[in-house]
Amino acid sequence: MRYKILGTTMQTLDVHLTAGESVFTESGGMAWMKGNVDMSTNTRGGLLKGLARSLAGESLFMTTYTCQSGDAMIAFTPESPGSIIPVELAAGQSRICQKDAFMVAQESVSLEIHFRKKLGAGLFGGEGFILQKITGPGIAWVEIAGEVREYDLTAGEVMKVDPGHIAMYEPSVSYDITRVKGMKNMLFGGEGLFLATLKGPGKVWLQSLPLSNLASKLIQYMPTKGS
């Protein structure tokens, strides 16, 4: 299996398959394709798993694309301006992603929901209690809004982040929420009441453009009723 990521702010992902190779994505995730490709749509693991995935921002049904013969190419596009990140996972290796980050993966990769165990992180962590967990072996591709910055935290190293900027992290990283100190900072600092605390060891991927920020900016220009 080969792949190529093209473009800058509106990237596309071309996945090249040979006979017998497969990838799966959420329903409607494919943009265009060529070659002898079979499509199979189902709940992938049963109705309960499908419903659980829908809570994490994905569709109830998933579609598997399998190359039947020769070579095939399938193109996938993100839902917002940003970056497509390949995630190569060994057997049992995982990544925790924000809701709706999953784009497409090899058939051997599993996609599950991930619950934040701490109440504060779930209530004030920007994405709620439910995230996505992808586990290898295989390659998965995730879509992240804006540009991406990657940090490798050493054991005990702490980074404080506006929760909306957290795109993905390794399970070894601990995630908690802390309140911003100082009444003036809370009221006029513009960062909200809470910050996320990420503690190493492990890698974290941060995004420059949380979709919530983009939506709040765009809504200023939306026509109101009666205007």
Interval 78-130: pLDDT, tens:
888 889 999 999 999 999 998 888 999 999 999 988 776 554 444 444 444 57
Residues 6+ apart with CB under 8 A from 185: 191
Its pTM surpasses 0.75 = yes
**What burial letters (b/e) apply to 62-74, b meaning 16+ CB within 10 Å?**
bbebbbeeeebbb
Task: Determine how β-strand 130-135 pairs with β-strand 94-97.
Answer: antiparallel
Please give the domain boundaries of the chain with CATH numbers for all domains: 2-219 (3.60.160.10)
Burial of 75 (0-12, 13-18, 19+ CB in 10 A): middle
| CA proximity to 160, closest of 189, 129, 187, 117 | 189
Query: Two tokens at 225?
Result: 């009723």
| 133: pLDDT strictly greater than 70 | yes
Where do we find the tokens 């569709």? Answer: 59
Contact 67, 18 (CB under 8 A): yes
Residues 6+ apart with CB under 8 A from 97: 131, 132, 133, 134, 142, 167, 168
Query: Two tokens at 22?
Result: 């497969």
Query: Is the link from the previous residue into 81 a cis peptide, with omega within 30 of 0?
Result: no
| 214: pLDDT strictly greater than 60 | yes
In tens, the pLDDT along 16-69 reads: 999 999 999 987 789 999 999 999 988 766 555 555 555 545 566 889 999 999
